[in-house]
Structure 1
């Protein structure tokens, strides 16, 4: 088991508790995704699918608001012509470059560091009008503090 799958399993176990799933419901969810009843038997894609289904059922991790804020900043910077690609892959590559981790493996502190680097990038812009628009937009974005769980 690598650190990425270990983090996913931990998130799934947290989701199981927060959603109040019984053993039967939990195993049915795992079996519905993979045909297996233990997270230790699932690959990374299957674990992400279990987590996606838990999120659809109302479970949110502490990093979800931060990832939304990063995505919003990234897309706004693209609209201003600062970043060249608006894709999730480009944003994920940036997160990986800053944290040396995938977005799913990042904790709250890692993602806060990414947000701070984006803010510093905005502060270094040569175009004062674009810099001011992005600063204003950043201030009006919802806070990226963790959701209570």
Structure 2
């Protein structure tokens, strides 16, 4: 695989895109596009991606899985970002690389140490808020009904609003869709049903954003 191709693989694995990718190019080579670079500069970018956590694997089954007391919460947030349309690569390897870049912490620390895990969780929540433009995600407001303080509902509601903007909402209202498709009212959804709702709507949002 050429250095040029490896850059695209590395960027996807690390969850780097758009201006973040161009800023990385400029920091390493002085150029903001791959076309403007020489082959040695392409290799310099590959080397930097490796430094940031990019791992080239010859087997898809060898993907790194996150383990530890706090892995589940971080994975849930990462998948939420995927369904919200701001995370491109939903793998644990991409999550670990992203959090390592954001926190400067080794993954063994933020997956196993409470203080470091909280730091990583807060960093991921902040990034998702910024990436979606929704500062209300993962926040609680006592003046609102309990449902609106449920992070799962906040995620589903944001995805629904994005689908409405694109004229792609699959029903007249979110409540109607949840009843027809998931089988319950928003206030009665089980944990599994919330996951199903997020995954279905997230898939639809990714399709319309292509």
Shorter-normalised TM-score: what interval?
A: 0.3 to 0.5
Larger Rg: 2
Report the TM-score, using the length of structure 1 for normalisation. Answer: 0.38
Report the TM-score, using the length of structure 2 for normalisation. Answer: 0.28
Instruction: Kindly indicate whether structure 1 or structure 2 has the higher relative contact order, using CA contacts under 8 Å at least 6 residues apart.
Output: 1
